[in-house]
Structure 1
C-alpha cells in the first residue's frame, strides 16, 4: 500500500511539474519539446520552473521582448520614476563628492587615462571614480597630454570638478593596495588598474543603501550602477553638445530605427570576425517582430570605421534605408587618435543610444559603453542591446598576467580577451578565463553621503 501511495504521489508531482513547465514555456514563447532536449540536469529544470531558463537557440529573439510588456502601465511608470529618482540622487552625490567645500582638506585620488583607445581609457577612469566614491575621496583627473586631446578631458567634456582640480600641495602616495590608504591624504593610482588589488566594491558590486530599490525595478542593477559613473564622466561641454546637435539635425533620424556598430580595422586583430549578414539577420528579426505594417520604412543607423560596410549593406540589403555619419567614418578611418576622431566616436555612441535597438559586439568598449548608457538612462539595455559575441563584461584586468597561448572557451580571440588570468592560489589548475573573474554581483556597504538629500 505504501509503495502504491509513493508511486501515486510521484506521478502527481510529475504531472504538476509538466503542467507548470508547459505554461511557462508558452508564456516565454518557447516550444516545450525543444527545450526538453536542452535540459541537461535538474538545475536547468529548476531554472525553467523559476522563469530563468531561456532556450539557447531562441535567446537572441527573446531578448527583443520588453520584460515589462505584461505589467500594468502604472507599474512601468513607477519603475521609471524610481530609476529617475535614484539616478538624480547618484549624480548629485557624485557632484558633491567632486566639489568639496574645502579642497585642501579633502582626501583625494589621482588618476590618469591609459594610453589605449578611448573606450578603454574611459573605463579606466570609470573604475577610478568608483574607487573615489567608495572611499569618499575626490578624484583628480590628470589628463593633460591625452592622446585624443592634448589639452585634456575638458576639451570635449565638462570638468569632473569645478573647484578641486589639483592636489593642493598635499603629499601624494603612489599605491596599488587600496586597503592601506585610510591615513593617506592623497593617493595616486597606477595608469594601468590591472596592478591594483581588487576590492569588494569593484564591479559588479552595488551599494547596499540603494540595492533594495534597484533590484526591484531593474534587471541589471550592477550595470546601471557602472552607467552612473560613465554618465557623469562624459557630460558634453558646450562645443561637443553643439556639434552633436548639428550632426543629428543633418542626419534626420526617424523611428523605428535599429543601430549597428560594426567595428573593423584594429578590432579584426582583437576579436573574431563577424559578417554583416549576422547583424542584418537580427535586425530583420527585430523589425519583423515590431512592425505590424510591413510597408513601413525600415531605418538602420550604421556606426563603423570601414566605409565598405555601408556599400555592402546597400547592395546586399536594399530593402532598408540606411543613415550614417559619413564624416565620422572618414575621420576614424584616417586618424584614430585626434580630437576630431574622439568627437566622431562620441557622436556615434550618442546616436546608438538613441536607437530603438542596437546590435554590436561586447568585445568592443563602444558596445559596452552604449549598453551602460542605455541602462543608466532608461534601464532597457537588456532588451534593447544585442551582443553577437560575448555577454557584457567590465573589461578591467586585475592581478596575474595574460598568456597568449590559450583562447577562451567561447573562441573570442582578442587583445584584451584572449588568454587566461593566473590566480595565485594552491589549486591544481590555477587558471580560469579572464573575464569570469570577480564578476559576481554583490551588495557592499559604501558611503551614503547624508549631506545630499533625496528629492522625491
Structure 2
C-alpha cells in the first residue's frame, strides 16, 4: 500500500518549490485515494499504469495537486449523460510540431469548458498532418491514435476556433473557472496556474486507443536497445527503477531557444548517480527558495539512462558511455534519425504514422524513468514533465531543466527569467 503520510512535495511550479497544498480541501483526499488505487487502465492505458507493481520507484509516489478531481471533471464535461442539447466547439490547428499542437488542443479544451461547450475534433483540418488513413480508416485527426475526446456526435451549434484558442475575454493562459477553487487550495504558484492546466489537459488527451496501444507494444519489442544490444520483449515491459531519462532536443530548436551539448546532460546525470543533494528544484533567478532535491543517495547508482533525441550524433556520443571508465547502461530506440525536425516535412500516411509512433513510444519510455534531464523550453520536455506529474505519479521526483534563461513573455518586451514557462 502507498503511504499517505503528509510530506512536502518538491516541484518547480509549487510555492517555494516545496509545498503540499491545503489538506483540508477535498481535492487532497481524492489525490491520496488515486495514489493508492492507481489509474483506470482502460482509460489511461500506459505501461507505467499497467506494470506499476513491476518496479518500485526509489522515491515516494506523489501526484500533482488536484489531478484526481481535474480528470474526473474533464471526463464529465466531455461525456454528458445527454448529448441532445449540447453545444460544441471545433478547434482548427496552427502549423507546429506534435507537442505544440497537443498543447494548443489542450488550451482549446480549456476554452470549450469556459464556454460550456464540448470540444470536438473536426473531420477536416488543413494544418493537421499527423494522421494515417491506412492505419485508422474512418477516424479523424488525433482520434487516429488516441481515444475519442467525447462520445457525443456534433450537430447543430458548432463554434469554430482557428489557431490561438482564445475567444471573448478568455485568453491563452486562462484556466476554466471550475478549477479556480481547487487552485486556490493548491500549492501551485498563481503565475503558473496555466501550466497546471497544461498538465491536466495533456493527461486527458493522450490516452492511446487499442490499435495504437498494440502498435506501440510491437514497436517497443522491435526497437528497444541497450548499448547496441536488443532488449528482449519479455524484459521490455517497463524500465528498471532508478533509470534516468535524458531528452536531448536539437534540430531547429536553436531558432527559439538555447540548445545544449550532450556533455551538459551527462554532467547532470553523473550528479544524480552520485547522489548529489544540492541539485536545485528551480534555478535561482526565478526560484522562491533555495530548495534542492532530496532523494536516497543510492537511487540512481545503477547508472542507467534512457536517451531520446532526434540527433543521430548524440546517440553515437551516448553509446561511448557504455565503455567509459564509469560506464552507463544507455537505453534507446533504434530508428532512422536526422537533425532537421522531420515533422516539418512529414505528410499524412506512413510518414505521419512513423513520427507519431516513435514520438509516443519515446514519451512512454521517458515516463518510466525516475529522474529527468531536459530543457523546459522544449514542448516535448514539457509533455514529459506534465505527464510524469500526473499519469506517472512522480510529481516529487528530480526533474532537472538545463534551460535557465528567460524567454519572451510579451511581444516587444525583453525576456524575463520567470518566463521559462512562456505558455
Shorter-chain TM range is 0.5 to 0.7
What RMSD, in angstroms, separates the aligned Cα atoms of the two structures?
4.0
Which whole-Å CA distance do the structure 1 matches of 2:318 and 2:208 have between them? 31
TM-score when scaled to structure 2? 0.64
Residue in 1 aligned with 2:248? 262
* Alignment length (residue pairs): 322
Listed as ranges, the gaps of 5+ residues in structure 2 are 1-14, 21-27, 35-62, 134-140, 225-230, 276-294, 347-351
Which whole-Å CA distance do the structure 2 matches of 1:129 and 1:295 have between them? 38
Task: Say if 2:181 is the partner of 1:232.
Answer: no
Residue in 1 aligned with 2:75? 95
Residue of structure 1 aligned with 2:33, choices 81, 96, 100: 81
Residue in 2 aligned with 1:189? 161
Residue in 2 aligned with 1:153? 142
- Structure 1 residues 204 and 280, CA, compared in 2 at 3 Å: closer, same or farther? farther
Report how far residue 110 of structure 1 moved.
1.4
Contact 2:248/2:307, CA 8 A, preserved across alignment:
yes
Contact 2:370/2:397, CA 8 A, preserved across alignment:
no
Q: 5 Å matches for 1:53-92?
A: 80-81=32-33, 86-92=66-72
Residue in 2 aligned with 1:245? 217
Report how far residue 192 of structure 1 moved.
3.2
Report how far residue 220 of structure 1 moved.
7.7
Residue of structure 1 aligned with 2:303, choices 294, 298, 305: 298
Residue in 1 aligned with 2:173? 202
- Structure 1 residues 247 and 91, CA, compared in 2 at 3 Å: closer, same or farther? same
Residue in 2 aligned with 1:356? 370
Counterpart of 1:300 in 2: which secondary structure?
strand
Which whole-Å CA distance do the structure 2 matches of 1:125 and 1:84 have between them? 21
Query: Which stretch of the first structure deviates more once superposed, 371-380 or 151-160?
Result: 371-380
Contact 1:226/1:372, CA 8 A, preserved across alignment:
yes
TM-score when scaled to structure 1? 0.60
- Structure 1 residues 79 and 228, CA, compared in 2 at 3 Å: closer, same or farther? closer
Counterpart of 1:285 in 2: which secondary structure?
helix
Report how far residue 104 of structure 1 moved.
4.4
- Structure 1 residues 67 and 94, CA, compared in 2 at 3 Å: closer, same or farther? closer
Q: Pick the structure with more helix per residue.
A: 1
Task: Say if 2:100 is the partner of 1:113.
Answer: no
Query: Which stretch of the first structure deviates more once superposed, 360-369 or 109-118?
Result: 109-118
Which whole-Å CA distance do the structure 2 matches of 1:339 and 1:84 have between them? 31
Residue in 2 aligned with 1:279? 265
Deviations 1:7-38 (A, max 9, x none): xxxxxxxxxxxxxxxxxxxxxxxxxxxxxxxx
Report how far residue 321 of structure 1 moved.
0.8
Residue in 2 aligned with 1:421? 411
Which whole-Å CA distance do the structure 2 matches of 1:419 and 1:223 have between them? 14
